[in-house]
């Protein structure tokens, strides 16, 4: 279990926002992560893929950490937990995934926030922190995000973080057991064209 704690040892993978701090998952985060996810289950499930039956168990969390470590080693994804500055309470998670290099130089952003921490600006701050990391450290050209059209809160987060709506993708992702249309959003590096 402690072997996976090396993920967070890299100080370069700690991101600082105005109201939040982000870092990769650690095995020691399991109790707080599982408690927040369980307390927020009804709030989160309509917007996420169907949770496996064992999703909130320690063995499933270990598998999650192992997959995250492989993705980070390959530079394919960077998953972070979001902590509130001041008291370091876990408030959610955010992941940059599907990183494509070559002519694309882009990645996809996904996030969740625990129900007790909504509407406080933490998600917008986390999104801005990760997009800054994308453009400065990873030198990506573009970041994409998608949300279900009825998820007005997520649309507001993306717009406040500078993302622009780009269209509708039909049956884009299987969410809560059903193929759902998604609104697509994009953000291009502020140095695009340099």
pTM of the predicted structure, to 2 decimals? 0.91
Closest by alpha carbon to 42, among 109, 114, 94, 120?
Answer: 114
Give, for all 194 residues of the chain, the pLDDT tens digit: 333 443 444 446 899 999 999 999 999 999 999 999 999 999 999 999 999 999 999 999 999 999 999 999 999 999 999 999 999 999 999 999 999 999 999 999 999 999 999 999 999 999 999 999 999 999 999 999 999 999 999 999 999 999 999 999 999 999 999 999 999 999 999 886 55
> At 172, phi and psi to the nearest 5?
-75, -50
Helix/strand/coil for 141:
coil
Q: In the prediction, which pLDDT does 66 show?
A: 96
Q: In the prediction, which pLDDT does 6 show?
A: 38
As separate numbers, helices (DSSP H) first and strands (DSSP E) second, the chain gives 5, 8
Q: Where are the domains of the chain?
A: 2-135
Q: In the prediction, which pLDDT does 194 show?
A: 54
**How far apart are the C-alpha atoms of 116 and 59, rounded to whole Å?**
26
**How far apart are the C-alpha atoms of 91 and 93, rounded to whole Å?**
7
> At 82, phi and psi to the nearest 5?
-110, 125
Confirm if 33 and 81 have CB atoms less than 8 A apart.
yes
**Is the CATH number of domain 2-135 3.40.630.30?**
yes
Closest by alpha carbon to 68, among 40, 94, 42?
Answer: 94
* Sign of the torsion angle spanned by Cα atoms 147, 152, 154, 156: positive
């Amino acid at each position: 279990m402690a072997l996976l704690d090396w993920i967070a040892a890299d100080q370069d993978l700690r991101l600082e926002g105005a109201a939040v701090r982000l870092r990769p998952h650690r095995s020691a985060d399991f109790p707080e992560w599982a408690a927040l996810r369980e307390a927020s289950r009804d709030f989160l499930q309509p917007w996420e893929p169907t949770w496996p039956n064992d999703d909130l168990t320690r063995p499933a969390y270990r598998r999650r950490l192992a997959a995250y470590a492989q993705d980070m080693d390959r530079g394919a994804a960077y998953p972070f937990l979001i902590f509130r500055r001041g008291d370091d309470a876990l408030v959610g998670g955010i992941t940059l995934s599907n990183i494509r290099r070559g002519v694309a130089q882009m990645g996809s952003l996904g996030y969740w926030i625990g129900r007790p921490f909504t509407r406080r600006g933490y998600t917008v701050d986390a999104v801005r922190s990760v997009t800054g990391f994308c453009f400065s450290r990873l030198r990506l050209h573009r970041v994409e995000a998608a949300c279900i059209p009825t998820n007005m809160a997520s649309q507001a987060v993306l717009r406040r973080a500078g993302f622009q709506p780009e269209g509708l993708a039909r049956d884009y992702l299987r969410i809560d057991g059903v193929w759902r249309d998604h609104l697509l959003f994009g953000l291009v590096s502020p140095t695009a064209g340099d």
